[in-house]
């Protein structure tokens, strides 16, 4: 069976859904061409960094025990530093996730009496307990580190006047979340981040500017460290791991900031010298190599989803024509049934656990029930086809990932089909 329509029918995709999607895809050829061009530029940057750092076959082997003289680990950190144009980098499997990487960067570079400032509004849900916005054991608040927040203006722009007022003699570190998290605000472009950093540094030059880079790597041809960020932080089971990294996170930036993080991760006096890479180096290197094209596939899926659901009548962020600065697509359904039906459609398109039906549950680190669809080769990997959202107003779902464009496409079609079948969307593709 080689007919494309017949192949999709095997997944329960109706002819009506497929025909509707064809109209959308016909209008996206130029957008997709531009994405491929960005991917090509970033692919060459990755190869160039690997060549400059003399990545060898020996780098692909792992170490055990203390991990002294781990060539692959040390070279990979040189590659990340070269790629992000920074003085140093920490790239480790011992960093368990994006939240851990961010907590590590914050806790290692802040001291009792310091103040942390977020000039872009509320941080991602799991950081609330790290900071102490919601009380939690071991939070920054418990260590005497205070927190201030300046919300974005209604149009999503920076509130420069109140940011200036918030900066004081205690302000040590500014955290800038590039992606939207579980919010319906715009994702920040690298250029906008650079403007914000410049404004902050003009007020107090010694402030550390850290960017939560999760979901943003390789979406543009420049990164936040190209526009003044002192640190960028991210997860390897998102964009830079290319779907192959089984765990890990990174911090790239100024040498002192990275060294502080290394001493916090391991132990004072040990720092980067220890930490065995075990058997993950090959996956880390090859995942980084694939990351630009994998990110491009996910980006195509996000744009396809925006155009599909905007045409049906749902509010989407970014909208169908906006420029893209991360791989996340938010769709607001206004009712929990839409979020649940969408996620269940995404799960049904997975290669792994497609037979599982996701349901909302009380997930650690969140203040409401969350539903997550992620039939992934790496558990929880959100560079793979996935969708999730909190079951609370405005009942928005956050879609991301897709290691290949055909898989991202299938996921969106399956989600749409499920919304039709569950009568959240009418058979003539109108919002109900």
Tell me how far apart the alpha carbons of residues 187 and 364 are, in angstroms, rounded to a whole number.
Answer: 25
Residue 1 above 70 pLDDT?
Answer: no
Q: How far is CA 345 from CA 9, 36, 391, in A?
A: 15, 27, 17
Count the neighbouring beta carbons within 10 Å of the beta carbon of residue 73. Answer: 24
Give the mean pLDDT of 408-429: 97
- Tell me: pLDDT of 110 over 80: yes
Residue 264 has pLDDT above 90, yes or no: yes
- Please give the pLDDT value at position 103: 98
Q: Which residue has the tokens 């630009």?
A: 292
Q: Is the pLDDT of residue 432 over 90?
A: no
Contact 54, 341 (CB under 8 A): no
Predicted confidence (pLDDT) per residue in 301-344, tens digit: 999 999 999 999 999 999 999 999 999 999 999 999 999 999 99
Name the pLDDT band for 64 (thresholds 50, 70, 90). Answer: very high
Which pair of tokens denotes residue 303? 């744009």
Structure tokens at 354: 């497609």
| Whether the Cβ atoms of residue 253 and residue 230 lie closer than 8 Å to each other | yes
Residues of the chain with pLDDT > 70, as a percent, come to 100
pLDDT-derived band at 182, boundaries 50, 70, 90:
confident
Residues 54-64, mean pLDDT to the nearest whole number: 97
CA 301 to each of CA 74, 208, 288, 347, 413: distance values in angstroms, whole numbers, following the listed order = 35, 35, 20, 15, 10
The domains located in the chain, with CATH, are: 4-42+292-421 (3.90.1150.60), 62-288 (3.40.640.10)
> Nearest to residue 73, comparing CAs of 310, 319, 248, 323?
248
pLDDT band at 186 (very low <50, low <70, confident <90, very high): confident
Mean local confidence (pLDDT), 163-192: 93
- For residue 368, the model assigns a pLDDT of 87
Q: Are 97 and 307 in contact (CB under 8 A)?
A: no
% the chain with pLDDT above 90: 94
Question: In 3D, which of 35, 23, 30, 19 has the Cα closest to residue 302?
Answer: 35
Residue 377's pLDDT is: 96
Range 241-254 average pLDDT: 98
What confidence score (pLDDT) does residue 364 get? Answer: 77
- Cα separation of 55 and 78, whole Å? 10
């Amino acid at each position: 069976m080689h007919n494309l329509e017949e192949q999709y029918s095997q997944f329960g995709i109706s002819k009506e859904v497929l025909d509707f999607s064809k109209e959308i895809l016909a209008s996206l050829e130029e957008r997709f061409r531009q994405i491929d061009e960005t991917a090509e530029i970033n692919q060459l940057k990755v190869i160039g960094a690997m060549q400059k750092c003399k990545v060898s076959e020996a780098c692909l082997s792992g170490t055990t025990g203390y991990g002294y003289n781990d060539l692959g680990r040390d070279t990979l950190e040189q590659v990340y530093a070269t790629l992000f144009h920074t003085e140093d980098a920490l790239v480790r499997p011992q960093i368990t996730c994006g939240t851990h990487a961010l907590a590590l960067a914050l806790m290692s570079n802040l001291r009792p009496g310091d103040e942390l400032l977020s000039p872009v509004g509320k941080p991602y849900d799991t950081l609330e307990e790290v900071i102490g916005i919601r009380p939690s054991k071991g939070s920054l608040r418990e260590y005497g580190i205070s927190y201030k927040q300046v919300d974005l203006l209604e149009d999503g722009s920076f509130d420069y006047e109140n940011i200036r007022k918030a900066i004081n003699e205690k302000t040590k570190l500014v955290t800038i979340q590039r992606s939207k998290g579980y919010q319906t605000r715009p994702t920040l472009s690298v250029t906008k981040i650079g403007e914000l950093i410049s404004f902050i540094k003009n007020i107090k030059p010694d402030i550390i500017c850290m960017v939560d880079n999760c979901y943003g790597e390789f979406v543009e041809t420049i990164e936040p460290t190209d526009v003044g960020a002192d640190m960028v932080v991210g997860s390897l089971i998102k964009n830079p791991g290319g779907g192959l990294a089984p765990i890990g996170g990174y911090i790239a930036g100024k040498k002192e900031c990275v060294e502080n993080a290394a001493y916090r991760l391991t132990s004072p006096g040990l720092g980067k010298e220890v930490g065995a890479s075990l058997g993950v180096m090959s996956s880390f290197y090859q995942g980084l190599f694939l990351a630009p094209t994998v990110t491009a596939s996910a980006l195509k899926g996000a744009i396809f989803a925006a155009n599909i659901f905007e045409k049906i009548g749902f509010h989407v962020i970014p909208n169908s024509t906006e420029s893209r600065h991360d791989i996340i697509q938010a769709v607001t359904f206004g009712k929990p049934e839409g979020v649940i039906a969408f996620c269940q459609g995404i799960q049904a398109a997975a290669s792994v656990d497609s037979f599982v039906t996701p349901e909302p549950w009380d997930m650690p680190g969140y203040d409401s029930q969350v539903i997550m669809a992620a039939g992934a080769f790496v558990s929880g990997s959100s560079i793979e086809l996935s969708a999730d959202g909190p079951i609370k107003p405005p009942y928005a779902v956050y879609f991301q990932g897709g290691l290949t464009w055909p898989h991202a496409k299938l996921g969106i079609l399956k989600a749409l089909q499920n919304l039709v079948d569950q009568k959240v969307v009418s058979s003539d593709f109108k919002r109900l």
